Amino acid sequence: MAVSALPEAAHLLRSDVAVVTAISEAHMESLHSVEETARAKAQIFLGLNEGGTAVLNRDALHADILLEAAIIHAAHTITYGRHEDADVRLLDYDHETGLTKISIFGTLIEYRLGPSGEHNALNSLAAICAIHALKEDVSRFTDFFRHLELVRGRGTTEQVLLGRKPITLVDQSYNANPLSMKAALADFGSRFKDSRRVLVLGDMLELGPTEASLHADLLEPVLKTDPEAVYLFGPMMTHLWARLPEAVRGAHVSSIGQLRAVLVTDIQEGDAVLIKSSRATGFEKFVASLVKESSSAPSESWRVTISGTAVHGVGFRQWLKKRSLSHGIDGWVRNRTDGKIEALLSGHKTDLDHLYTHLRSGPSKAEVSQVLMRRVSIKARPGFRIRQDRVISSTLNRPSRRRP
């Protein structure tokens, strides 16, 4: 529910389960303080049905306010988070594989999460709490988490052309506040350690009287991503610009036209670029224009065999899946009984060429000796699958194109 609609919407909908996922320095122009924001969001519990369950993030700022409201208005309360007292507790999250380990009232389970980022792992705990509150068997649902897809503007990864240069664009243009900005930066830094990382950050809006310091305080999470360059947009980002080291200063601009011009000049082929701001800055339209311009790029499919040491392990297939998705490539991968890997990859030619570079190196725990690719007419279905079936031989044993 929108916090501005509370408590009326809560009374209208009369929910069986109500969830509060986070409290942060958002809505500050109308709510004036984080404590007041917590009290406003706690009103979602006012509309619970008799016997209803309140679910809340135990790590949230002013979680005590949420707990107090839950105790008064809910028949049951379930907490989640990293907090040692949480009923559903996040024990470990692996950024590379998405493996998530949790404790549900003392019972240990694990599952893989499709969307990356610890913030999304915590969101999955909120869903698990709701499933538990509805007295369903949680284990029946955890496999669905690996198939979740992000909504555009909320962290989707796009392969686009910027000034005819192929780049990986992480689209966080829908919204921004200090908490979501820090989460996006942490996830971006973890996911793209092997790439040149570029940050394009716009103003965070509706933060009230402390907006200047909240923008300036982004310095530490920004630098933790080890960026090659930082590009800032809007008057409030002036406060972060003033604190940025000269070595990572890209540009501070006041219009989308200026931003596009400087990025076209500065960005290098293969860069990973994070774009994040509040929606009203216009970044969403900027991203949409890049995606539209890039959609006319040529698309093709390749059948691939990969030979080498330790390429048969599940880690290699997970690595290839993650790499393919980060490049916007659809397909599948499976083991062969001869110790090789076979894959079908479909995407823009520039993206496939980019992925080929990574395939030649492979992950750190494997040693790739040969990559054979042959163009085919079949197109992979959307997404990327790790197939469990194995084949003795492959059509790739026929004469193939060996790339230099």
Q: How far apart are the first and last CA of the chain?
A: 55
Cβ-contact 110, 101 below 8 angstroms: yes
The residue written with tokens 């479909």 in the block is 346
Beta strands 367-376 and 341-348: pairing type? unpaired
Asked about 401 being catalytic, the answer comes back as: no
In degrees, to the nearest 5, what angle opens at C-alpha 11 toward C-alphas 6 and 16?
110
> Catalytic: which of 335, 336, 390, 403?
335
Cβ-contact 148, 114 below 8 angstroms: yes
Asked about 175 being catalytic, the answer comes back as: no
3-class DSSP state of 377: coil
How many Å apart are CA 210 and CA 28, to the nearest integer? Answer: 9
Q: List the beta bridge partners of residue 308.
A: 368
Which of 72-103 are b and which e, b meaning 16 or more Cβ less than 10 Å from the residue's Cβ?
Answer: ebbeebbbbbbeeebbbbbeebbbeebbbebe
Q: How far is CA 124 from CA 57, 110, 127, 146, 321, in A?
A: 12, 12, 5, 11, 21
Cβ-contact 244, 168 below 8 angstroms: no
> Catalytic: which of 58, 197, 317, 336?
317
Closest CA to 36 of 245, 246, 208: 208
Q: Which two tokens stand for residue 177?
A: 């506040």
Cβ-contact 264, 226 below 8 angstroms: no
Beta strands 384-386 and 330-335: pairing type? parallel
By annotation, the residues acting in catalysis are 317, 335
